[in-house]
Structure 1
Amino acid sequence: MIVRRLRCRPRQNQHVETPCFRLMNPSLISLFAQNTTGAQFRALSRSLFLGIVVLVLATLNSPAGNHSANAQMGGMNQNAGAPQGPAERAKFSDYIHNDGGLPIVREQGDTVVLDVRVIGNRTVSTNKVLQSLQTRKGRFYSRDDLLSDIHRLNRMKAFDQVTFDTQETERGIVVTFKVHERKLISKIVFHGNQRLNDKEIAGRTGLAEGDPISEYTTESARRRLLDFYREKGFAQVSIVSFVGWEGDPGIVMFRINEGPLVRISKVEFIGNTILSNARLGKLIKSSGPIAGAINAMNVADRNKIAGDVQILESTYHNLGYLTAVAGYRSKYSDDGSRMEIVFVINEGPRFKINSIQIIGNRYITEDSIRSRLTLVPGDMYNGSVLHVDTQEIIYGYGELGFMYADIQPKTVMLDDQNAVDLIYQIEEGDQWKIGQIHVNIDGEVDAIKETVVLNMMDMYEGELLDRRKLRNARTNFGRSPLFESNPQIAEPPDIVVTPREERF
């Protein structure tokens, strides 16, 4: 049973809106198909329900190994026919009879645990420790459970050392867990910070009073503070952490040397021939002075500069310079408050496409796929065009109902020829067909008819689910003035695809 509440816009001069619920119980339908060899497909029914529109789908995929790569993008052939399933399900008693009855699990061991003791804990209560253990008073003793308990206590991160001891008696065994608690943070102290206050940096450490102290958490907090300072433009910051101060072993101190706030005074590029300095300057995120004036936006963030290097390399790789590398060097002013950055680029040769291979297509012919490609052997490699070609193959499969087809392009470089072999790895997935369409509107039901919504979709029961049509339908619903799109008033209109599989 599906209940979905959506809302259409109220009519003019009407200030009161009465929500309307429509309750639907769509019954699943059976859709069948055959392959060209006559072998029967498995009959499946899948439901697809929409934010505004509810679709029930049926998969048309054949059994594994029965696909024939003879279909063209833009059309396909189907026949009907399906096997009948069992009249009723097997009873639970039949399963139990066939399985020899319900299994009975018995605790293993002959020695009873007389008592479980915990020593060495000071702040962590004994009850909290005992609740995490499988070894308990009155149960049979198991060494495997005992070793598992040691791992559980270590995962609590409250102890830096956990051991156990056993004492056997005539009546049973006494288990004693010996723990050594970690030191707890009593106070977090920051020393030397002037530009950034304690409250501003305390939340960046990830530490809090009462947390266990460990070298790992303290070092992680120090690194997070370094990253935060560098993001703010303190490129020369240094931070040292200490544990224990003034006789209190629970104090964690961070001694900070902020250094000057560094701003970028100049950005240069060396080695670029095909792209101008102005073009590269628009691609990167680091920027120098604007109209000769230092501003708050050009702080020297080394993480951002490293990201700019990746942007430059990706840009050149996208243009076919697959071996291009980039780096940078920096120079500080005498007072350390200004930085000059020089990006060094080695473009290398431009690669062309040697061959194009298509792997994994079973239903769609290779010629049909190639007809959609813009790149052909002999062209210069271009990442943007490759992305467009990949999307064209995806939508080509989507036109035939392969809703979840996955296309992964791969490149194999031939360095001696300055060329690449381009490989499209295809996972076709199942083929889908629309079974039922339901419209669910909340608000003024009389203000809009279901036929208006169906016409906006351009999708019909019984046809193959077209990925491109689905995308266009979502766009039409979002732009339509008939439906409320403000999320603060009502849930925006949408088409939600949720397949459900059942055998018949």
Structure 2
Amino acid sequence: MEVVMRSYCLIVWPICTAIVLGLSTFSYAQLGGSRNLPGPTLDGGPSFRSRLIAEGGPQYSDSKGKIVRTVRVTGNRLVPENEIRTHLRTRENLRFDPEVVEADVRRLVSSGRVRHVRTFVEDGAAGVTVTFNVSEVATIGYIRILGNRSYLDRTLLGKTGLKNNEPMNRFSVSEGKRRLEDHYRERGYGNVQVSVFEGDKPEHRGIVYVVSEGTRERVGGVNFEGNHFLSDARLKTLIQSKPAILWTFRGVVDRDKIDQDVDRLTAYYRNFGYFQTRIGRELQFDEDKKWLTLKFVIDEGKRYKVRSVTVNGNERFTVESLMEQLDLKSGNYFDVKTMNHDVNALRDAYGIQGHIFADIQAEPRFFEEPGWIDLVYNVSEGEAFRVGQINVKIVGENPHTKRSVVWNRLSVRPMDICDIQKIRNSERRLVQSQLFEHNLAAGITPRIVIQPPDLTEIERLSQRPIDNRRVRGQSP
């Protein structure tokens, strides 16, 4: 169930008309020019066609317009000739056109199956013979993995992301090697080494990886040193690197997760005003290199206090009235949770007066003097709104609930001040009525959606009489 409220502004709406002009340009970029346009030239220099001929390229001028007798494809060993011919527009019994031949070359190279194409034209009495000599891109003929003991070949082949008959190049081979190493390291094989035995040279027809797995590492214990503000038990709930369960399950060493734990702990300390906190980690393995004792070394630093709190951009309310809504005051220790609570309090103060789209941004300002910050709340009040049209949308397999049932649980009516607190109370009553499905895990719940007005809606509402029907109301 969804209630859509369209609001309109209490004051005169500023109207902006934006006109966007789209300018389209057409460029013709054909190799060697087109039939109606000359080929590209350098300023005062020879044309592309002249430079191509000077470099030993094919000369088509004498053969242009003649009938193509034969089209040949040479040099291909892996790519079928039929596949190559699907990219060609130069065909038998059609007139020869050098520009069509050049377009064929571009299509072949763009297909990814051909690395280089040379063309040869033989002009005979019966017609023109065009030969396309291709240099193929190497394709993967086979993929093998040697030395793996902990994982099946099928599992590791899927991790490489490579498949047979795909183009083979150094990048794809190197990327497959990296993925194999990541797969092992994420599962505790921190010393794994993967080498490319075959596949890094042009003459190779397949890829062979050799894996040296090493020893699987597990976390045996986690310690903290230097923490005073937060206990070890609290810090352990924040990290992902945890000891193995019963020395068997989970607890694998993942160095990327350890680095993420350092960042997570640092961010958590800063939420409480410890902006100079530094955290390091020590990895201590046993003699067999199987069990790790992970130690986080913490330098908490000084906790910052709020020197002053100011509000900018407010016009509807005085600074004093807004400051009464704040819990984080001058002299208090900085706390992100309290600061966010104050942001919501200021937003609600504006929301109950119709400024439902007010934007409040908190800005901590640091100074050279450590230990103190200034906290500034920047306010963009926006316009004040009244409730316009209220649409009730009830969905389901066979919805039978009357819309008046929803209306009776709403605390706002058209032309009322758009009070965010009343809207929340109305939404809460709809949930508590148990008439509609409420499943937060699935994202299904009765909700009230507030949409800003448009000019068409405002004009229509101004010509419509106010709905003064009586409905039964309920208190929050």
Residue in structure 1 matched with residue 204 of structure 2 by the alignment: 249
Match of 2:140, as an amino acid? Answer: I
Q: C-alpha distance in 2, partners of 1:401/1:153?
A: 64
Write the mapping of 1:76-91 to structure 2, written as runs, cut at 5 A.
Answer: none
Q: C-alpha distance in 2, partners of 1:163/1:194?
A: 45
Residue in structure 1 matched with residue 175 of structure 2 by the alignment: 220
Q: C-alpha distance in 1, partners of 2:290/2:449?
A: 54
8 Å CA contact 2:244, 2:252 repeated in 1: no
Q: C-alpha distance in 2, partners of 1:106/1:266?
A: 66
Number of aligned pairs? 400
8 Å CA contact 1:237, 1:258 repeated in 2: yes
Aligned pair partner of 2:369 in 396, 416, 420: 416
Deviation at 1:472, TM superposition (A): 5.1
Aligned pair partner of 1:298 in 240, 251, 255: 251
Q: C-alpha distance in 1, partners of 2:197/2:433?
A: 61
Find out whether 1:501 has 2:454 as its counterpart. yes
Residue in structure 1 matched with residue 264 of structure 2 by the alignment: 311
- Alpha-carbon distance change, 444 to 261 in structure 1, aligned in 2, over 3 angstroms: closer
8 Å CA contact 1:245, 1:251 repeated in 2: no
Match of 1:57, as an amino acid? Answer: S
Give the aligned CA root-mean-square deviation in angstroms: 4.8
Q: C-alpha distance in 2, partners of 1:500/1:118?
A: 66
Q: C-alpha distance in 1, partners of 2:371/2:327?
A: 20
Q: C-alpha distance in 2, partners of 1:286/1:302?
A: 9
8 Å CA contact 2:140, 2:165 repeated in 1: yes
8 Å CA contact 2:274, 2:303 repeated in 1: yes
Deviation at 1:364, TM superposition (A): 5.2
TM-score, normalised with respect to structure 2: 0.67
Q: C-alpha distance in 2, partners of 1:357/1:229?
A: 53
Deviations along 1:306-331, one digit per CA (max 9) or x if unpaired, are: 12111211121111110101110101
Find out whether 1:211 has 2:166 as its counterpart. yes
Task: For CA contacts below 8 A with separation 6 or more, give which structure has more relative contact order.
Answer: 1
- Alpha-carbon distance change, 445 to 231 in structure 1, aligned in 2, over 3 angstroms: closer
Aligned pair partner of 1:381 in 334, 337, 341: 334
Find out whether 1:110 has 2:110 as its counterpart. no
8 Å CA contact 1:55, 1:438 repeated in 2: yes
Write the mapping of 1:88-487 to structure 2, written as runs, cut at 5 A.
Answer: 110-111=36-37, 123=79, 125-126=83-84, 181-244=136-199, 249-288=204-243, 293-361=246-314, 365-429=318-382, 431-442=384-395, 448-471=401-424, 473-474=426-427, 476-478=429-431, 480-485=433-438
Q: C-alpha distance in 1, partners of 2:264/2:180?
A: 26
Q: C-alpha distance in 2, partners of 1:360/1:164?
A: 69
Q: C-alpha distance in 2, partners of 1:62/1:428?
A: 15
Residue in structure 2 matched with residue 58 of structure 1 by the alignment: 8
Deviation at 1:58, TM superposition (A): 2.7
SS of 2:331's partner is: coil
Deviation at 1:222, TM superposition (A): 2.8
SS of 1:283's partner is: coil
8 Å CA contact 2:348, 2:421 repeated in 1: yes
SS of 2:199's partner is: strand
SS of 1:424's partner is: strand
8 Å CA contact 1:332, 1:340 repeated in 2: yes
Deviation at 1:158, TM superposition (A): 5.3
Q: C-alpha distance in 2, partners of 1:240/1:406?
A: 55
Q: C-alpha distance in 1, partners of 2:234/2:443?
A: 44
Which has the greater radius of gyration? 2
- Alpha-carbon distance change, 408 to 458 in structure 1, aligned in 2, over 3 angstroms: same
8 Å CA contact 1:459, 1:469 repeated in 2: yes
SS of 1:387's partner is: helix
SS of 1:377's partner is: coil
Percent identity among equivalent residues? 30
Q: C-alpha distance in 1, partners of 2:282/2:26?
A: 68
Deviation at 1:500, TM superposition (A): 6.3
Deviations along 1:355-379, one digit per CA (max 9) or x if unpaired, are: 3343444655544433322112221
Q: Which range moves more in the overlay, 342-351 or 432-441? A: 432-441
Deviation at 1:225, TM superposition (A): 2.7
Q: C-alpha distance in 2, partners of 1:59/1:376?
A: 34
Deviations along 1:323-353, one digit per CA (max 9) or x if unpaired, are: 1011101011111111111101111111111
Match of 1:298, as an amino acid? Answer: G
Deviation at 1:176, TM superposition (A): 11
Deviations along 1:469-488, one digit per CA (max 9) or x if unpaired, are: 54555555455431245799
Deviation at 1:139, TM superposition (A): 11
TM-score, normalised with respect to structure 1: 0.64
Unmatched segments (≥5 aa) in structure 1: 1-50, 65-81, 86-98, 132-136, 168-174
Q: Which range moves more in the overlay, 52-61 or 334-343? A: 52-61
Unmatched segments (≥5 aa) in structure 2: 29-33, 39-63, 90-94, 122-129, 460-476
8 Å CA contact 1:162, 1:177 repeated in 2: no
Deviations along 1:390-431, one digit per CA (max 9) or x if unpaired, are: 222333333344444443323222242421122334444555
8 Å CA contact 1:375, 1:386 repeated in 2: yes
Deviation at 1:224, TM superposition (A): 2.9
Match of 1:277, as an amino acid? Answer: D
Deviation at 1:247, TM superposition (A): 10
